[in-house]
């Protein structure tokens, strides 16, 4: 039986962001959907019920885990094919390999990334795009960027849309929404952003757009883990005198997410660049109207279930927020179309696409 190795080092993060969520959910779906043998390589032991049926190789190593320790493992005990869903292909790897490239935002908006991070992403993505047998891309937009920036042959890249967290559903209970609002110290109407607090997410422009609203009773929640240059946003809020109306509640617990999203007037995601935009689907799953950028992969992902705006146009973003504050019918229509849009995405379908690619790679190698 064919042995498929998977770099699962990102799948057990205690506070997962998009790539960690992708890694965990896709691996779990692959284990349920395939007759292949799977060996997972991890830095730490996962919870007992995370990966049933898989052969787990827990490899502790302090630094350069991928290129030193995982490479050494590949040299000594290579699988038939190595799949890397959320990182970079190790320097030493089996003859057959598959790597997911999530986005090339560092190419589109280099100033939105610290220089060391930008250089690492450039080197690692260029390496994976050339050395891997085949690539997966989260979206057609990411595939197009691989072709444009690295000259990757289109036939070498397969688009496999990620799924979303199907445990997220609309919360209709007013008491549950009131309780979560109390926990996050918000009253009345509020707009919600959920994601890493960093420049690429275009939050400075979102704050400026929010400041233009004539309704002064509304709150803006910018929720998520702090990233690069997040303190600049605190300073902007102070300059605009919005300390009581713009909140940074930090990382949102999974147990609170559905109610917090469901209670929002709208979910606002004006990111300058996204390889996929998982938070848009999470908002749609909770029945929340979505405002998002009309660029990169976001129109492709949001479908007809979002109000699309130019992410560089502050006035347009403010007008979209005002529109959803005042137009209840439009909010309801967007929420309904968002729920319908979810039918295009599932982790099971993503796993089927990935397995088809794996089988094709194995077949060509025979």
Q: Do residues 249 and 187 share a domain?
A: yes
Give the Cα separation of 82 and 157 in Å (integer): 16
pLDDT attached to residue 227: 83
Q: Do residues 135 and 208 share a domain?
A: no
Put the strands of the sheet holding 81-84 in their side by side order.
55-58, 37-42, 3-7, 81-84, 97-101, 134-137, 157-159
Cβ neighbors of 203 (< 8 A, separation 6 or more) are: 193, 197, 222, 233, 270
Residue 181 lies inside a defined structural domain of this protein: yes
Residue 168 lies inside a defined structural domain of this protein: no
Q: Do residues 153 and 29 share a domain?
A: yes
pLDDT of the chain along its 366 residues, tens only?
799 999 999 999 877 778 899 999 999 999 998 789 999 999 999 998 899 989 999 998 888 999 999 999 999 999 999 999 998 999 999 999 999 999 998 998 888 788 998 999 999 999 999 999 999 999 999 999 999 999 999 999 999 999 999 999 999 999 999 999 999 999 999 999 999 898 889 999 999 999 999 999 999 999 998 887 788 999 999 999 999 999 999 989 999 999 999 999 999 999 999 999 999 999 999 999 999 999 999 999 999 999 999 999 999 999 999 999 999 999 999 999 999 999 999 999 999 999 999 999 999 998
**What's the CATH code of the domain at 101?**
3.40.50.2000
Q: Do residues 68 and 151 share a domain?
A: yes
For residue 138, give its domain range. Answer: 3-163+346-365
Q: Do residues 215 and 101 share a domain?
A: no
pLDDT attached to residue 222: 97
Q: Do residues 280 and 351 share a domain?
A: no
pLDDT attached to residue 88: 94
Q: Do residues 240 and 288 share a domain?
A: yes
Measured CA to CA in angstroms, residue 236 lies from 112, 201, 226, 322 at distances of 17, 15, 15, 21
Number of independent structural domains in the chain: 2
Residues facing 160 on adjacent strands: none
Residue 169 lies inside a defined structural domain of this protein: no
Give the Cα separation of 283 and 63 in Å (integer): 36
């Amino acid at each position: 039986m064919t042995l498929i190795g998977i770099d699962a080092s990102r799948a057990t993060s205690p506070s997962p962001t998009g790539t960690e969520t992708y890694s965990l959910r896709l691996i779990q779906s692959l284990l349920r959907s395939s007759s292949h043998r799977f060996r997972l390589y991890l830095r730490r032991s996962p919870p007992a019920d995370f990966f049933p049926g898989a052969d787990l190789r827990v490899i502790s190593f302090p630094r350069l885990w991928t290129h030193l320790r995982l490479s050494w493992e590949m040299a000594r005990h290579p699988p038939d094919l190595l799949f890397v869903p959320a990182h970079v292909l190790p320097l030493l790897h089996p003859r057959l390999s598959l790597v997911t490239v999530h986005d090339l935002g560092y190419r589109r908006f280099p100033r939105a990334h610290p220089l060391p991070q930008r250089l690492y992403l450039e080197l690692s993505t260029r390496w994976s795009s050339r050395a891997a047998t085949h690539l997966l891309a989260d979206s057609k937009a990411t595939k197009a960027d691989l072709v444009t920036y690295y000259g990757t042959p289109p036939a070498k890249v397969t688009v496999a849309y990620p799924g979303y967290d199907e445990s997220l559903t609309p919360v209709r209970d007013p008491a549950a929404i009131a309780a979560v609002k109390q926990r996050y110290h918000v009253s009345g109407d509020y707009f919600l952003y959920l994601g890493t607090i960093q420049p690429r997410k275009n939050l400075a422009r979102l704050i400026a757009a929010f400041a233009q609203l004539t309704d002064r009773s509304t709150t803006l929640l910018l929720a998520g883990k702090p990233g690069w240059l997040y303190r600049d946003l605190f300073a902007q809020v102070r300059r605009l005198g919005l300390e009581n109306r713009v909140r940074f509640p930090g990382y949102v617990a999974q147990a609170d997410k559905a109610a917090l999203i469901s209670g929002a007037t709208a979910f606002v995601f004006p990111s300058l660049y996204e390889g996929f935009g998982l938070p848009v689907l999470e908002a749609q799953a909770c029945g929340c109207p979505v405002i998002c950028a009309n660029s990169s992969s976001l129109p492709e992902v949001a479908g007809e279930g979002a109000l699309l705006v130019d992410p560089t146009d502050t006035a347009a973003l403010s007008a979209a927020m005002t529109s959803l504050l005042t137009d209840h019918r439009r909010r309801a229509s967007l929420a309904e179309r968002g729920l319908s849009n979810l039918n295009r995405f599932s982790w099971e379908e993503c796993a089927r696409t990935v397995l088809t690619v794996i089988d094709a790679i194995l077949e060509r190698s025979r």
